[in-house]
């Protein structure tokens, strides 16, 4: 990511003020019964921490990775206000590896960096099973991408550990106007 992008995100978060990111993504909340309630979660490009705090309140040990120091400061304040702890990692997800460790859940909301997908299988705990025996260790959404309009589909990630599945947007190939 260019330094200009980092500066742009810092300015955006500074303009937002101390209220931070607000409510968690409705997409993520809708997956509540599919997501684990304990273990480790990684929130990619999590910014001000709206999704990370929600996941932590549900019982997960959450790491938030973002390029913006200003966003991470808002996440720190949001976590303190919510009475939860977040691990904050300043990183450029377009060039740096994922934060180390194994995760039961990887969340990427409103951030799409396809080269990161290859790192997901090695970062997921084998057999991470949420309630009702359903697996959803990766949840992602990119709302303005016109190819992601077909709902969600479960599938094993390429190179995944035995028993792992991902919940991904169903790709619908169309010639939607931009």
The pLDDT value recorded for residue 28 is: 85
The pLDDT value recorded for residue 150 is: 43
Model pTM? 0.74
Coil, strand or helix: which one is 113?
A: coil
Q: What are the extents of the domains in the chain?
A: 3-169
CATH number of the domain at 3-169, please?
3.40.50.150
Coil, strand or helix: which one is 133?
A: helix
**49: its two tokens:** 């921490």
**59: its two tokens:** 């019982």
pLDDT tens track of the chain, all 178 residues? 567 788 998 998 888 766 556 899 888 888 888 888 999 999 999 999 999 999 999 999 999 999 999 999 999 999 999 999 999 999 999 899 899 888 888 888 888 787 887 787 778 776 543 333 334 445 554 444 443 344 444 555 555 455 545 455 443 332 333 2
Q: Distance (Å, rounded) from C-alpha 106 to C-alpha 103?
A: 7
Q: Distance (Å, rounded) from C-alpha 149 to C-alpha 127?
A: 28
Among 54, 45, 44, which Cα is nearest to 22's?
Answer: 54
């Amino acid at each position: 990511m260019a330094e200009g992008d980092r500066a742009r995100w810092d300015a955006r978060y500074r303009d937002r003020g101390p209220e931070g990111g607000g409510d968690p993504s409705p997409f993520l909340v809708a997956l509540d019964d599919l997501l684990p309630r304990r273990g480790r979660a990684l929130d990619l490009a999590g910014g001000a921490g709206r999704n990370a705090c929600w996941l932590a309140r549900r019982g997960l040990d959450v790491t938030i990775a973002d390029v913006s120091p200003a966003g991470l400061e808002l996440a720190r304040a949001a976590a303190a206000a919510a009475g939860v702890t977040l691990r904050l990692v300043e990183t450029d997800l377009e060039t740096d590896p994922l934060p180390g460790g194994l995760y039961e859940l990887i969340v990427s909301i409103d951030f799409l960096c396809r080269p990161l997908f290859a790192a997901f299988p090695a970062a997921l705990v084998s057999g991470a099973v949420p309630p009702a025996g359903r697996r959803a260790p990766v949840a992602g959404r990119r709302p303005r991408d016109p190819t992601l309009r077909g709902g969600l589909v479960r599938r094993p990630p390429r190179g995944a550990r035995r028993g792992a599945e991902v919940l991904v947007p169903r790709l619908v190939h169309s010639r939607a106007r931009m």
